[in-house]
Amino acid sequence: MSDLRLALLQCESRPGDVAVNMQRLDDACREAAAAGAHLLVTPEMFLTGYNIGGAAAAALAEDTHGVRVKAVAAVARRHGIAIVFGHPERDRRGAVTNAAVCVDAGGQLLGGYRKTHLFGDLDRGMFSAGAADETPFDFRGWKIGMLICYDVEFPENARRLALLGADLIVVPTANMAGFDFVARQLVPTRAYENQVFVAYANFCGQEAGLAYGGLSCVAAPDGAVLARGDRHSSLLLADLKKDALSQARKRLGHLDACRAGREPEP
């Protein structure tokens, strides 16, 4: 496992304009790759906008190997950087889900995830819940797991990925103003209690009546915050050190001590 340079895109949402969002992704990948980043993470539903309504989400939903995934793969190849992005996806049953997808620098699909915890009527009016059966995938010697926004607020989701061997959990999000506790306290706590890196990429600004909180961040396995956005558009960079994982796991040891799913001691 080599060290990993991570980029987070914090930006305003552009609902419904996939072409504009693809260009913004291309620009962000160019900047991140020039800064030496290996992986760029975008906010939740980045390619289509988040608060777009059920009809638009259904009309824009594609399958796992749809046109948008292929277009993002071309961007990844052009700039030589892996990408995690969000968009509406149609599963094998035909249900519309809130998905995150990762393609590598060669444009190959590495992994996908469908949001399991739907936030209020807003999410439930657009999406069906995922099954939470995705496992971490390999990237440059790292095991990466994915969650989406509200999912990270339930500790069992991050713990499940950590117990499956995740070193990094990426969290595309559309967290609103008034919920700063999640970015400021909860994300570092998830990193600390599981001895993993957690990368939380949020929108900022306004979208269809929603005000987003920004504050995108990267937290280390000891809970330290390595990068933190403000309320404005930015590209954040963080260096993830492999030694930080082993040191935190040795010093803190939560995963070794965790008894979840184990037989009780006599």
Q: Which amino acid is at 140?
A: R
Q: Let me know: does 8 contact 216? Beta carbons within 8 Å.
A: yes
Q: Is 44 a catalytic residue?
A: yes
Query: Of 29, 102, 149, 217, which residue is the catalytic one?
Result: 149
Q: Both tokens of residue 88?
A: 């509406």
Q: Please give the Cα distance from 96 to 260 (Å, whole number).
A: 32
Catalytic hit among 29, 44, 102, 207: 44
- Determine the Cα–Cα distance for residues 127 and 47; give it in Å rounded to an integer: 16
Contact present, 247 and 219 (Cβ < 8 Å): no
Q: How remote is the C-alpha of 76 from its chain's centroid? A: 17
Q: Considering 115, 134, 153, 193, which one is annotated as catalytic?
A: 115
> Quick check: is 115 catalytic?
yes
CB 26 within 8 A of CB 75: yes
Under DSSP, the state recorded for 262 is: S
List Cβ neighbours of 187 (8 Å cut-off, separation of 6 or more): 152, 171, 198, 200, 217, 219
Could you confirm whether 250 is annotated as catalytic? no
Give catalytic residue positions.
44, 115, 149
